Structure 1
Amino acid sequence: MIQTAICLRQEKALNLIYGAGKWKYLMISGLDKHNNNILHLANKLAPPNRLAHISGAALQMQKELQWYKEVESIVDPSYKLDLNHDGEKPSELFTNSHKQLMEEAEKWTKGIAHSSTVVGALIITIMFTATFSVPG
């Protein structure tokens, strides 16, 4: 159950399951059939329906990083070094599964920066013109 909650980004379910008391350490220590621990599962790309609620690739990437940090806070630090069947650590899996989102986030950020520069230049031009114009 905890693996499914992590894969599907179900924060409330994770909190409910993790709050189960003394059994929580047994629940978070399991591996799936590909030898992925829950940090590996948290580092996979979220399902499209979960990302669709967040506009902008940079904000989606931020949400993915926040989810990873949240799951990382509840596991033993040694989980960060575990390898799955593909020989990937959780951080490597994050990098590989988020490549496309990272590229989209980079393009989105550059587009926003360019738009802001254009708007800033227009404002400065208007201010400069207004400063040297004779009223009336």
Structure 2
Amino acid sequence: MWDIKFTNKLIEEVVRGRHVELFRLLNAHDTIPNLRYDIERNHDLMKAVVGWSTGYAPADVSGSAFLMQRELQWFEVKKDESDPSSESLKFEETDNRSGKTYWEVFVEQRKGLLQEASQWMKNTSSSCSFVATLITTVAFAAAFTVPGGNNDNTGLPIFLKKTSFMVFVIADALALFSSITATLMFLAILTTRYAPNDFLRSLPRKMILGLTFLFLSLAFMLVAFGSALMIVLSERWKWIYIPITLLAAVPIVLFAILQLPLYVEMVESTYCPRLYRPVKIWK
């Protein structure tokens, strides 16, 4: 059904143009039978993967760091687990007499992208670590200045037996632990060596974990603040929990609208990239 020359040219153009959906479709139906161990074809595909255009900016990738990750995924998807030679292919020299391997050419052509991705990671981690540190400071201080104060005789909190007080204590503790964990994740990013391979899994995973714990610490801080208001004001206004709940929902809704799509895209790109998932439109 498939002419070998046509198939070679098709898959080469798909890879060169970085057409993810077309690649998933071709990969799903194995439209290139008996070519997997074709050495000449493997070299042609590696050239297509290594090739780079500075103006390339796919619409489904956010930021230079995840563009670098996508490029590394294209480089990795060329490997075939059943063929050990596909792993060694990237360390073979190109045929342009430069004496450089495919991997060296791949990295050299993306030096600018690598610098932009590293700077993006540093700037994002610095900003997020600053926010996480602020939350840690507030949560730590709140643990020793509980709402209502302490009993002068026993030293125990006055509202210790109230349910809302226990909610405050638990939420404050979770906010403290989450913000500290987020700070450690961002510090791990700031102190990394920013090697090209780090952008494939290591750095994106650390960024996702850091953002996850940062978002959790913000949510727990909102719960702690809301419960503290309920402790102080519930005796006078029994209905105070209604406006508190509504106001606390505003940041959550804003996050869902503004940040959640990007966060989901980051998680999908790192843990379940579309490039590795073939798509079948017929059986």
TM-score by length of 2: 0.40
Cα deviation code 1:60-101 (max 9, x no counterpart): 111111111111338843643142325232101111111111
Given that 2:50 and 2:106 are in contact with CA atoms closer than 8 Å, whether structure 1 keeps it comes out as yes
Separation in structure 1 between the aligned mates of residue 97 and residue 135 of structure 2, nearest angstrom: 53
1:124 to 119, 133, 136: 136
2:94 pairs with 1:83: yes
Shift of 1:45: 2.6
1:103 aligned residue = 115
2:68 aligned residue = 61
1:16 to 18, 26, 47: 26
Separation in structure 2 between the aligned mates of residue 83 and residue 48 of structure 1, nearest angstrom: 23
Dislocated runs of 4+, deviation >4 Å: 23-26
Q: Any idea what SS the aligned residue of 2:78 has? A: helix
Q: Any idea what SS the aligned residue of 2:18 has? A: coil
2:79 pairs with 1:72: yes
Cα deviation code 1:15-73 (max 9, x no counterpart): 527523235655x7249xxxx632122022366242x4211211111111111111133
Given that 1:40 and 1:89 are in contact with CA atoms closer than 8 Å, whether structure 2 keeps it comes out as no
2:124 to 90, 112, 115: 112
Query: How has the CA–CA distance of structure 1 residues 23 and 82 changed in structure 2, closer, same or farther, with 3 Å as cutoff?
Result: same
Shift of 1:134: 4.9
Unaligned runs of 5+ in 2: 1-9, 149-283
Query: How has the CA–CA distance of structure 1 residues 11 and 100 changed in structure 2, closer, same or farther, with 3 Å as cutoff?
Result: same
In terms of Rg, which structure is larger?
Answer: 2
Cα deviation code 1:95-118 (max 9, x no counterpart): 111111110111011112101211
Which amino acid in 1 is paired with 2:111?
A: K
2:151 aligned residue = none
2:15 aligned residue = 6
2:56 aligned residue = 48
Higher mean Cα deviation, 12-21 or 64-73? 12-21
Query: How has the CA–CA distance of structure 1 residues 12 and 86 changed in structure 2, closer, same or farther, with 3 Å as cutoff?
Result: farther
Unaligned runs of 5+ in 1: none
Query: How has the CA–CA distance of structure 1 residues 114 and 23 changed in structure 2, closer, same or farther, with 3 Å as cutoff?
Result: closer
Separation in structure 2 between the aligned mates of residue 4 and residue 112 of structure 1, nearest angstrom: 35
Identity rate, percent: 28
Which amino acid in 2 is paired with 1:57?
A: S
TM-score by length of 1: 0.76
Separation in structure 2 between the aligned mates of residue 107 and residue 126 of structure 1, nearest angstrom: 29
Which amino acid in 2 is paired with 1:106?
A: S
